[in-house]
Structure 1
């Protein structure tokens, strides 16, 4: 009888599990997503198969895009602490060769969180990509971070809403590139236009 009860309990859990997972990751869940649909919490967790307005690509397709004419613009959005008007970096960051590193631009609350909204992070993202693409909204842009990382998903959504037309999402990002034995290079964060505007901390 006890075995039967355990079996029934296991079946019940199996039936309820997909529903609970879906409820926790639904794109309209206010615990995880803003009213505008950006991910705002648990950035390192499983991502969907696609991102708004973009084509999801794998490593082989990324290589093809890099070798195309014009080569795709690679944008890395992995976070980096920004304090007192400057990025605080203690360890080198390795990304795809030639990547444009725009930290923090994949956060979901850039427009409504006081700490981030006091600076124009969205303008930083759009301005740097526009400059790198010569202002061509149809220039191919590839966005990445790491595997199970919603930062790149947010950034792709932000770029699509801004009108960029050829967007690619490297869903597993740097982790997938490195796992395939591809070379990485040390990249530096591109300083935002509001860098060094905050006075240094005094003691």
Structure 2
């Protein structure tokens, strides 16, 4: 399915996989219970299905951003004990920006989000930036909504890496940005 066809199907009222037309859209951002049913749309953003995402990935038409939180070193772990977090798999060519999909961002994180969006789009308002994480995850919805409110051409892939893998598509290891 072409990117245009993926958007067309959504415009015809066909709910993308992993969304629920009965889920109301919050007035601002989802603040908790991030792993639950998500709506079919995101204010100011484009919703992409797996077919459209395949075209985006193959065509290099967009910046892809995984917003899943990164694992942190356990507080109870003794100092000096090596800690190696599990590998993180993402859609090919993705950036991994942990925590930018939370409902409320600390001012420093919100400023970094705005700054990095400007960098990855080279200041071009027509450059599509697609946010995703897992299926039924509000963090990607929040990030897409936040970016759209900042004037970014934001896309949202609600099926996330789960839908991508279910379609038998490849993933690759990524490292988180901005996480110590």
Matches within 5 A, 1:1-203: 26-28=24-26, 37-68=28-59, 71-81=61-71, 90-110=85-105, 117=106, 120-164=108-152, 166-191=153-178
User: Could you list the runs of 5+ residues in structure 2 that have no partner in the other structure?
Assistant: 1-21, 74-82
The number of residue pairs the alignment matches comes to 150
Between the aligned partners of 2:53 and 2:164, the Cα distance in structure 1 is 9
RMSD (Å), alpha carbons: 2.1
Runs of 4+ with >6 A deviation: none
TM-score, length-scaled by structure 1: 0.68
User: Once the 2 structures are TM-superposed, how far is the Cα of residue 173 of structure 1 from its aligned partner?
Assistant: 0.7
- CA offset digits 1:2-22 (Å, max 9, x no partner): xxxxxxxxxxxxxxxxxxxx7
Between the aligned partners of 2:156 and 2:123, the Cα distance in structure 1 is 20
User: Once the 2 structures are TM-superposed, how far is the Cα of residue 26 of structure 1 from its aligned partner?
Assistant: 4.3
User: Once the 2 structures are TM-superposed, how far is the Cα of residue 45 of structure 1 from its aligned partner?
Assistant: 0.1
TM-score, length-scaled by structure 2: 0.76
Larger Rg: 1
Between the aligned partners of 1:122 and 1:51, the Cα distance in structure 2 is 19
Corresponding residue SS for 1:141: strand
- Give the aligned partner of residue 9 of structure 2: none
- Give the aligned partner of residue 19 of structure 2: none
User: Once the 2 structures are TM-superposed, how far is the Cα of residue 136 of structure 1 from its aligned partner?
Assistant: 1.2
